[in-house]
Amino acid sequence: MKGRDAQADAHEIRSLAGMVVKAARRDMERRLGEAGVGISGLQYGVLLILSERGHTLSELSRLMAREPATLLPAVDTLERKRLVKRGRDPQDRRRTPVLITASGKSVLKRVPPVGSHDLLPKALRELGEENTSQLLALLREVTLLLPDGKHQTSQEG
């Protein structure tokens, strides 16, 4: 980067991204509360990932960039609520994938990942289609330059 301070830019991006994540988290918690599903945003994130396929706790940890010790109570709670179940891998008895149940899928149908009245979609509508497309393209490009970038962009919409 010629003429720009990459560290200062990185600091500002981190700060701005944090504000966006915080707003999205608040919106998610609000929608979960309104739906009365009795789970946290973290637990919802686990369900969302498991909706694609089952994963072990280690795999969930890597995909969510969270420590297994943080995810274990969330998965245990989801299991008690019968939204997930622990399975068995017929090819590797040591592997215990966590699988979403029909009740877990029902929660995902009731509470979409992003609501039409959430703050971020409102801001993007204000930003306009062209600017939103540019923002997405640049964020995808930056993400691909980060470790595990291919995993980060797997949910491109």
Dist. CA 20–CA 14, nearest whole Å: 10
Do residues 63 and 101 both lie within one domain?
A: yes
Dist. CA 2–CA 120, nearest whole Å: 32
Do residues 56 and 133 both lie within one domain?
A: no
> What tokens were used for 134?
């540019």
Residue 79 domain-assigned (yes or no): yes
| Contact indicator for 64, 148 with CB cutoff of 8 Å | no
Do residues 36 and 80 both lie within one domain?
A: yes
Residue 39 domain-assigned (yes or no): yes
Dist. CA 118–CA 36, nearest whole Å: 17
pLDDT per position in the chain (157 positions), as tens? 567 899 999 999 999 999 999 999 999 999 999 999 999 999 999 999 999 999 999 999 999 989 999 999 999 999 999 999 998 877 877 788 999 999 999 999 999 999 988 999 999 999 999 999 999 999 999 989 888 666 444 443 3
**What is the number of structural domains in the chain?**
2
Residue 56 domain-assigned (yes or no): yes
